[in-house]
Amino acid sequence: MRLYKFKIGLLSLLLLSASSINSYVFADGEHFLTVDELLKAGFTQLTGLQLIELLNEKEVEVRDIETDAVYISVRNEDGSLDNRKIEKEKSQSMKYLLNAKLLARAPLLSENAKYEVSGDELISKDGIRTYHIKFYEKQGRMFGARDIDNGNVFYELTVK
């Protein structure tokens, strides 16, 4: 009987500890920018033609708005639209390493990724993974939201 009570007590303690850790890591006050918020603020989704124009740009800076990591997307010398390379410009902040939700996000695709426009979204694939990305713009500010980020917006784009 004593062993049974001990096991119940230990299990309760473990569940309580796990619950408090979980509420600390996934704090209710944490908030990420969402597509719904962009639309409510008057941002509009870019059309397929606007996406093609964006791919035609020589250089596009992609900034992770949660970690401050900066990536430069550069069009290939041959002028092709489907191949751009990503150069990392600035490393991620320590905030990234301390946040389980940010660590759980899928990374950007490798520099060998292929890009194509389908409808009003950009499809990015590297042979293993495929991301569908929609872009939103208002008065020159652009944001990108990937399908795998559950409606959260993590990327801001600037054409250089």
User: In residues, how long is the chain?
Assistant: 160
**Which burial class, exposed, middle or buried, applies to 37 when counting CB atoms under 10 A from its CB (0-12, 13-18, 19+)?**
middle
* Rounded (10°) CA dihedral 15, 21, 22, 25: -170
DSSP 8-class letter at 43: -
Same domain, 26 and 39: no
Same domain, 20 and 87: no
What range does the domain containing 18 cover?
1-30
Same domain, 73 and 111: yes
- CB of 82 closer than 8 Å to CB of 116: yes
Q: Specify which residues 132 forms β-bridges with.
A: 123
Question: Which amino acid type is present at position 21?
Answer: I
At 145 the three-state DSSP class reads strand
Q: Specify which residues 61 forms β-bridges with.
A: 72, 158
What are the φ and ψ backbone dihedral angles of 55, each rounded to 5 degrees?
-70, -25
pLDDT tens per residue across span 72-84: 887 767 655 455 5
What are the φ and ψ backbone dihedral angles of 79, each rounded to 5 degrees?
85, 0
Same domain, 25 and 65: no
Instruction: Categorize the per-residue pLDDT at 1 as very low, low, confident or very high, splitting at 50, 70 and 90.
Output: low
Number of structural domains, the chain? Answer: 2
pLDDT tens per residue across span 35-80: 999 999 999 999 999 998 988 888 888 888 888 888 888 776 765 5
Same domain, 89 and 24: no
